[in-house]
A and B are shown apart, each in its own frame.
Chain A
Amino acid sequence: MSGQAVGGHTVSGHALLPADPAGAREYRETVERIRAGSPQAAADELRRVSREVRRSVVEMIDRAGMGHIGGDLSVTDILVTCFYGLLDVDPTRPKLPGRDRFVLSKGHCAAALYSTLAHCGFFHRAELATFLAPLSALNGHPNRMKVPGVETNTGALGHGFPVATGCALAAQLDGAAWRTVVVLGDGELQEGSNWEAAMTAAHHGLSSLTAVVDRNRLQQGARTEDTTRLEPLGAKWEGFGWEVRDVDGHDHLALLEAMSRSDTGKPVAVIANTVKGKGVSFMEDRVEWHHKVPSAEQVEAALAELAR
């Protein structure tokens, strides 16, 4: 299908979105500063990127009139830490065989992923304006045939982890050094498929696999602990043979440290303690903001808070 104009911008239909070379150059420079600079400088830079990503998430959802804003804001710092601080990826060559693999299993937070990928230059930021528009590449859940940087099509919860486990298994079979990171919702952990994957990964000693749990303690309709209890969550992962690291999921440097490679031979589970709706005071830790759409005034207030 050929391109179609939506809101003054041409939507790319079925093809994989092209990279944004200028954006990718800027990304590489930022990454160099972050990875080579002082911890303080790195933290400042990561916070700046997170702020920008959050702002564009709010703008995308405002324009589309739909989205999962709470989970987008809770996972942003994890996404930014991964792409800017950790992963070895080249946005201009998204299918490079030796790339690190990143899987957002909680695919309903596509807006945060798209915004992050666009900031990295995987595609042009102007494309974000087409989020959810007819024939846009930017569907409500990520599609790897349309969006570079997406490894597998998620959205049905409980799928990303087994796929990521398969990626890590392939790297192990090939003796390759690349690593795999999968980000899971905490409510998502109620799906049994996750625990099947946890067993598989531990059994095979997939130490190149890192599972990050966005532990915001809320799911769609209620708190996780009032729906189907997850605690003691760390002990569960340990019981399944994983090394467990518990961190503040909004502290970029702590996240980076927690996602560093393990020497125990075990896969690593990072329990990232987060706040759903992080950064917008009236959305924080409130279940209704799972997929509520902010009014014009609320958008303005949110953007003002996120400018600080």
Chain B
Amino acid sequence: MTEFDCRKDFAAELVALARQDERIVAVCNDSVGSSNLGGFREEFPRRLVNVGIAEQDLVGVAAGLANAGKIPFVCAAAPFLTGRALEQIKADVAYSEAHVVLCGQSPGMAYGELGPTHHSIEDLSWVRAVAGLDVIVPADPVQTRAAVRWAAASGRPSYLRVPRFKVPAVTPADAPFAPRRAVLLRSGDDVTLIAIGSLTSRALEAAERLGAAGVSARVLNLPFLDPLDEEAVVAAARETGGIVTAEEATISGGLGAAVASIVVTRHPCPMRILGVPRVFAPTGDTRFLLDHFGLSADGIVAAARELLGHG
């Protein structure tokens, strides 16, 4: 299966938009290379603002640019963007309703061997805790491009998690891309697998394996983690035997927590939440770490079988 580096799609879409809309600017932190902004800089050198290694300044400056009518795309490694500048994200962007697009690059454990300082597994919990911020987690190139276009036009603050770990294309041609709209990737009624980002293709693979063993698994993908598709979650809880969520993020506060809070209040059903447990990862590359934490087709299959009592 062909796998794609969505950073290329992110950068290409941003350049295409910038050609049409001169309000679009890119803001980065010594990250022109790692955010794939070389092409943007070549075409729009004056519209690329590199503040240096200074993430708090980065987000504050972006809020100021937005105040004066620009549409800043802040491009920085996700751990430093969300971790270092969280209060700027809260106060200057979300609370002040500044139309800033926060683009977390190389999220999850994409920086494998560089270790926990460079892993961004807390970002989803952190940004979900901030009011007024849309949270978008693209799963493939199509969703990455759609996310860039949507965020540029939304007029609202958003956090966009730009994948680095290579992923296959998963989005069907007629799939919706909008807040509160899940993408149905596979129908099924025994169990529902809900996955975002890099785990989406792994969930599909798990569903295939479950299918071969006679278990019919529905697969939902939620490109919008916030605001998410409550009705699709409730339907899954009602119509299938339970829900397994999977994300490349800590289990404290991300997709699993978001789905669980809907499930417990509207239609309780058995759930399993797959993500990074509350530990700092050991040394290893991304693939090794995903497998290490059971964030694999095998891990999803095992969780689904256990949930259904097939042990």
Chain A residues within CB distance 8 Å of chain B = 1, 13-14, 64, 66, 107-108, 132-141, 143, 153-158, 187-188, 190-192, 219-222, 224, 227-228
Question: Is there an interface contact between A227 and B118, defined as CB atoms closer than 8 Å?
Answer: no
Closest to A137 in B: B283
Closest to B55 in A: A191
Is A155 a contact of B54 with CB atoms below 8 Å?
no
Once bound together, how far apart are the Cα atoms of A222 and B28, in whole Å? 13
Contact across chains for B284 and A192 when beta carbons are under 8 A apart:
no
Q: Are the C-beta atoms of A143 and B115 separated by less than 8 Å? A: yes
Q: Which of A14, A154, A156, A221 contacts B282 (CB 8 A)?
A: A14
Contact between A155 and B115, CB atoms less than 8 A apart = yes
Are A140 and B113 CB-contacts (below 8 A) given A14-B282, A190-B53, A227-B52? yes
3 A-B pairs closest in CB distance:
A228-B52, A155-B117, A190-B52
A140 to B112, CA, bound (A): 9
Please state if A134 and B83 are interface contacts (CB–CB under 8 Å): no
Number of B residues with CB within 8 Å of any CB on chain A: 29
The chain A residue sitting closest to B37, CB to CB, is: A221
Which residues of chain B are within 8 angstroms of A224 by Cβ–Cβ distance?
Answer: 52
Q: Which residue of A lies closest to B56 (CB)?
A: A192
A200 to nearest B CB, angstroms?
A: 17
Residues of B within 8 A of A227 (CB): 30, 50, 52
Residues of A within 8 A of B116 (CB): 153
Instruction: Report whether B118 and A140 are in contact in the complex, using a CB–CB cutoff of 8 Å.
Output: yes
The answer to whether the Cβ of B80 comes within 8 Å of any Cβ in the partner chain is: yes
Tell me which of B51, B55, B118, B284 contacts A134 (CB under 8 A). B284
User: Least Cβ distance of A16 to chain B in Å?
Assistant: 14
What 0/1 pattern do residues 29 to 53 of B give for CB contact below 8 A with A? 0111110000000000000001111
Contacts of A188 in B (CB 8 A): 53
Cβ of B95 within 8 Å of any chain A Cβ, yes or no, is no
Q: How far is the CA of A133 from the CA of B114 in the complex (A)?
A: 11
Q: Which of A137, A141, A155, A221 has the most CB of B within 10 A?
A: A221
Chain A residues near B113 (CB-CB < 8 A): 64, 66, 132, 139-140
A107 contact set on B, CB distance < 8 A: 117
- Pick from B31, B80, B117, B283: contact of A133, CB under 8 Å: B283
| Interchain CB contact under 8 A, A135 and B282 | yes
CA distance A15 to B200 in the complex (A): 35
Given contacts A134-B283, A139-B113, A156-B79, contact A219 B52 (CB under 8 A): yes
Cα-based distance from A156 to B80 in the complex (angstroms): 7
Give the distance to chain A from B278, nearest Cβ to Cβ, in Å.
15
Q: Are A192 and B282 in contact (CB under 8 A)?
A: no
Q: How far is the CB of B181 from chain A (nearest CB, A)?
A: 35
Cβ contact within 8 Å between B80 and A140: no
Residue-wise, chain B 60-83 has the 8 Å CB interface mask toward A (1 for contact) of 000000000000000000011001
Kindly list chain B residues whose C-beta atoms are within 8 Å of the C-beta of A14.
Answer: 282
In angstroms, Cα B80 to Cα A168, docked, is 27
Determine the distance from Cα of A219 to Cα of B30 in the docked complex, in whole angstroms: 8
Contact A191 B31 (CB under 8 A): no
- Asked if A140 and B115 make an inter-chain contact with CB atoms under 8 angstroms apart, the answer reads yes
Residues on B with beta carbons closer than 8 Å to the beta carbon of A158: 53, 84
Q: Are A155 and B118 in contact (CB under 8 A)?
A: yes
- Interface-central residue, B56, B282, B288, by most chain A CB under 10 Å: B282
Residue B285 is within 8 A (CB to CB) of chain A in the complex:
yes
Is there an interface contact between A139 and B115, defined as CB atoms closer than 8 Å? yes
Q: With a CB–CB cut-off of 8 A, which chain B residues contact A190? A: 30, 51-54
Supply 15 A–B pairs (Cβ within 8 Å), ascending by A.
Answer: A108-B114, A135-B283, A141-B114, A153-B117, A156-B80, A156-B118, A158-B84, A190-B54, A191-B54, A219-B53, A220-B31, A220-B33, A220-B34, A224-B52, A227-B50
